A = this chain, B = another copy of it.
């Protein structure tokens, strides 16, 4: 990862030097922002949108790995409740930190965390813009354990800033700051099946009715505020029930689509075999033996919210992860730096959810595309 520079000064100095800090005032609170640019190159900003439990954390873990260096909480460690992950190249902030109500406050008002009226978009915009322009900020911290707002933490401008959460593309000003945006889209059927397996199985104690009720309760806000952000995403990873097992509702095997917007600067969509045509591919056969229900790929183009898109789809799962190299060979425009890099990345995170299916594959590929996008932006400067 020679193209990435390390912000040693930023990493070792958790606060901006006294006297250089000014106050960036949001409507509700004030946080100091360093005025000194700690990076000569602007930070590239990536938005990752999804509902809770849809794999944002897994995705950012894969992304940080591709971008170089494992992600950890900020080294200052002042806030054990910090949601931020920092690596040599990348800082991932969680937009829950911009909740303007704590859990008690939301409960009192009877609103969900999905409701954008209680997200401080002014502060989010100002701080993301500040980081993008090379200035450090004091970002609020929402403690997911206590449900309270913890003391703020310093975020210094990294090479790549990832903002992940419920609303990275909701506010037009924040949206305009994004160099690339991803929406992780889990279909309702898969969401329900996964929640049932988690809450009735491992964690136990929940009835099917209570699980369905909790999903239904979130639905109006989800459909009103979260889902519409799909239309702004440069890439969408959509998880759907398999078509390989008739009548399946377990969703242990899934069908995953990578939907890539055409005409996005520094982003060339991935394709299978032949760019611009329509292809269905069942790799299982003479050279790759797959157990039931097999694997099926599809590639083609479509329109998505009025935009031309390329779509690569994988249904099924890998028996042995190293067989992925066979699939990788037939995908083009992967932005890998060496033959087999996708397979290597997938093997490195074999324990992470989705590593044997299209979620892991496409998350890894999007990570590589983001690295490439970053390098193209840097090269152009």
Task: Mark A residues whose CB is within 8 Å of B.
Answer: 273-288, 300-301, 330
A277: chain B residues at CB < 8 Å are 281-288
Q: Which residue of B lies closest to A282 (CB)?
A: B278
A285: chain B residues at CB < 8 Å are 276-278, 300-301
Q: How far is the CA of A7 from the CA of B301 in the complex (A)?
A: 55
A278: chain B residues at CB < 8 Å are 280-282, 284-285
B275:A287 contact, CB within 8 angstroms: yes
A274: chain B residues at CB < 8 Å are 273, 281, 283, 287, 330
A275: chain B residues at CB < 8 Å are 286-287
Q: How far is the CA of A14 from the CA of B178 in the complex (A)?
A: 83
Interface of chain A: mostly helix, strand, loop or mixed: loop
Q: How far is the CA of A72 from the CA of B281 in the complex (A)?
A: 45
B273:A273 contact, CB within 8 angstroms: yes
A130 to chain B, nearest CB (A): 41
Q: How far is the CA of A73 from the CA of B186 in the complex (A)?
A: 69
A177 to chain B, nearest CB (A): 31
B276:A279 contact, CB within 8 angstroms: no
A302 to chain B, nearest CB (A): 11
A330: chain B residues at CB < 8 Å are 273-274
What are 6 A-B contacts defined by CB distance under 8 Å?
Answer: A274-B281, A275-B287, A277-B283, A277-B284, A278-B282, A280-B281
With a 10 A CB-CB cut-off, give which of A279, A282, A283 has the most chain B CB atoms. A279
Q: How far is the CA of A78 from the CA of B275 in the complex (A)?
A: 57
A279: chain B residues at CB < 8 Å are 273, 279-282
With a 10 A CB-CB cut-off, give which of A274, A287, A288 has the most chain B CB atoms. A274
Q: How far is the CA of A331 from the CA of B280 in the complex (A)?
A: 16
A286:B301 contact, CB within 8 angstroms: yes
A308 to chain B, nearest CB (A): 9
A322 to chain B, nearest CB (A): 17
A280:B283 contact, CB within 8 angstroms: no
A321 to chain B, nearest CB (A): 19
B281:A276 contact, CB within 8 angstroms: no
Q: How far is the CA of A281 from the CA of B301 in the complex (A)?
A: 13
